Structure 1
């Protein structure tokens, strides 16, 4: 989830950069802009900005959630390693006591 969140943040940033580099024609009668050589209207630019904002928020949320999940898993693994080590240290002593 952490990786997916970062990918969504990068996509949102790319959309914002695309939106910033739209060029208007300066004609008030025909208010179209060009985005990568394609004519787009104000509604299209608004939708691109809206999608970029939603992707950014979703990416930040997934990154936060994935980071918390990863930290929880690492803490659990660390605890299990300590338990396994303590069992390993205790197991040879109990074997010797059982054979005697």
Structure 2
């Protein structure tokens, strides 16, 4: 079965590798420091580390989709916004 229909590129592969590594790193972190003490952030939600990772990944996906819809390529601006979103989520949410 060929995968040519998926149009894999290096940036696409790097994106999925990053997601896999982020989830693996979160799993290792949770193994060595279980619990992750929920905290209440600016949105008024009680979130754990895993919740914040999920919100970061989901928000970043929407940021990139919006960037491609309104700006197209290159994606450096979308990446900068996604990194800013990730920092915001992990520090303030």
TM-score norm. by structure 1 comes to 0.35
Structure showing greater radius of gyration is 1
**More RCO (CA 8 Å, sep 6+):** 1
